[in-house]
Amino acid sequence: MTQTSENVTWLTQEAYDQLKAELEHLSGPARAEITEKIAAAREEGDLKENAGYHAAKEEQGKQEARVRQLKQLLETAKVGEAPAANGSVAPGMVVTIAFDGDPDDTLEFLLASREYASSNIETYSPQSPLGAGVNGKKIGDTAEYELPNGKKAAVKILEAKPYSA
């Protein structure tokens, strides 16, 4: 889980270790692999019309951007505990809301950095309109947030529990 405040990103030990392992892989074995791909493509001749070379260079660029992103994230990271199950919405919590007070129209999501997004559960950043609206609220509270069209929407907090993978 991550929680961003100012320039600090709060991570659980598990999330920190996972991101650090990804950085080590991209900086080591993955970097060597892409360098080999570029060298092999270079040997094929004319670089202007060499699709393999251009694809490998593009992959290298994306990989290096991810390395820079991970380094920056880990440099500002503080490792802490997962949030307590105290009924308050906070980053690292799985939140269930009801739209416009309709108990049948609900959404369950993880309030966390997009960095921690999972295919298992929808993730909303604490900086997103919905995330900012529910952050800090308690179970039973109504939260307001702004829709993309500029109108306001209200949701009721039904549940907030710590995320577990």
CATH of domain 2-79: 1.10.287.180
Domain ranges (residues) in the chain: 2-79, 93-162
Span 26-72, pLDDT tens digits: 999 999 999 998 898 888 877 778 888 889 999 999 999 999 988 88
d(CA 8, CA 78): 7
The topology (CATH level 3) of 93-162 is Chitinase A; domain 3 (3.10.50)
Span 112-163, pLDDT tens digits: 776 665 667 788 888 889 989 999 899 999 999 998 899 999 999 999 988 7
Q: What is the pLDDT of residue 75?
A: 84
